[in-house]
Amino acid sequence: MTQTVTSVADWKQLRAEFDETGESLGLVPTMGALHAGHTSLVERSLEENAQTVVSIFVNPTQFNDATDLKNYPRTLDADIQTLERLGVDYAFVPDRDTVYPDAYRYRLVEGDVSKRLCGAHRPGHFDGVLTIVMRLLNIIHPHRAYFGEKDYQQYYLIKDMIRALFMDVEIRRCPIVRDADGVALSSRNALLTAEGRDLAAQFATILRRGESMEAVRSQLEERGIEVDYVEDWSGRRLAAVVIDDVRLIDNVET
């Protein structure tokens, strides 16, 4: 049965027991609304570690749009059931005051990559991402932490943060999981209408065709899809669009 932990003090007591046994610990940070993409991260952690903890926290500091934060899916009871089915050892489910006792006065800021791509369209987003990941890593103290390729810019920044700050944790990169229609799995997909879902599938198909960035943007806009960006960076083609007022991201190797 998955044990739910809500306080830092309770987690530290459990963590001390792992230190005594020398067991490896894996962390899968999530914002809940778990889907098969999250499941793939959890299953890898279960394979590679003696103990696995999944954090569930809808992090308000990474939302630059209050409506987006309000509408973000919250399915905690179903999420805990999923973790129990998978055999996860612990769920860390803190509230805002637990992870931000300073009310976000202290935050981590990166001055280059975080300003590009998604960062150029979501001011402050990656400050919130890096800050919450840093805090979770400092609370949980895992040996390994697992992140998906769908949020490739996020993965890149987190891995670079670990290197730059000499943190003793291994960041594991896991491949994108897609539905049968090619759409990259995301908790936000649940907010799409049927028509929006069809456009999301077209977005995934067009992005993977290997045509020029200009051609990809043009084809998306012809279908009435709002395009934030389509850019080649770090060996991948990354894109962000808005469909049904829902922001979707995806990327493919180039």
Q: What is the CATH number of the domain that holds 233?
A: 3.30.1300.10
The CA distance from 231 to 235, in Å, is 10
**What contacts 6, CB < 8 A, 6 or more positions away?**
92, 93, 94, 95, 98
Task: Write down the pLDDT at residue 22.
Answer: 84
Task: Write down the pLDDT at residue 177.
Answer: 97
Helices 194-207 & 213-222, crossing angle to 10 degrees? 160
Q: Final residue of a domain: which of 134, 152, 174?
A: 174
Q: Is the dihedral of CA 77, 48, 142, 110 positive or negative?
A: negative
CA 81 to chain centre: 20
CB atoms within 10 A of CB 123: 10
Question: How do residues 138-164 score in pLDDT, each as one tens digit?
Answer: 999 999 999 999 999 999 999 999 999
Number of domains in the chain: 2
% the chain with pLDDT above 70: 100
* Token pair in block for residue 8: 């830092």
Q: Final residue of a domain: which of 174, 195, 229?
A: 174
Instruction: Mark the ranges of the chain whose per-residue pLDDT is less than 50.
Output: none
11 and 130 together in one domain: yes
Examine residue 179 and state whether it is found in any structural domain, yes or no.
no
What would the DSSP string read from start to end of 106-124?
A: S----SSGGGSTHHHHSTT
- Classify residue 155 as left (phi > 0), alpha (psi -120 to 50) or beta: alpha
198 and 132 together in one domain: no
Is residue 35 part of the annotated active site? The answer reads no
The CA distance from 64 to 123, in Å, is 6
Q: Is the dihedral of CA 119, 120, 122, 128 positive or negative?
A: positive
Examine residue 182 and state whether it is found in any structural domain, yes or no.
no
78 and 104 together in one domain: yes
Domain hosting 46: range is 3-174
Helix residue ranges, H only, 33-177:
36-48, 66-71, 76-86, 96-99, 118-121, 125-140, 152-164
Task: Write down the pLDDT at residue 25.
Answer: 96
The dihedral formed by the CA atoms of 98, 102, 105 and 110, expressed in degrees to the nearest 10: -40
The residue assigned the tokens 């990809």 is 216
Q: Final residue of a domain: which of 129, 152, 174?
A: 174
Task: Write down the pLDDT at residue 19.
Answer: 82
Which residue among 38, 121, 125, 143 is the active-site one? 38
91 and 195 together in one domain: no
Question: How do residues 205-242 score in pLDDT, each as one tens digit?
Answer: 999 999 999 999 999 999 999 999 999 999 999 999 99
User: Does this model's pTM top 0.75?
Assistant: yes
Buried residues in 218-229 as b, exposed as e (16+ CB within 10 A): ebbeeeebebbb
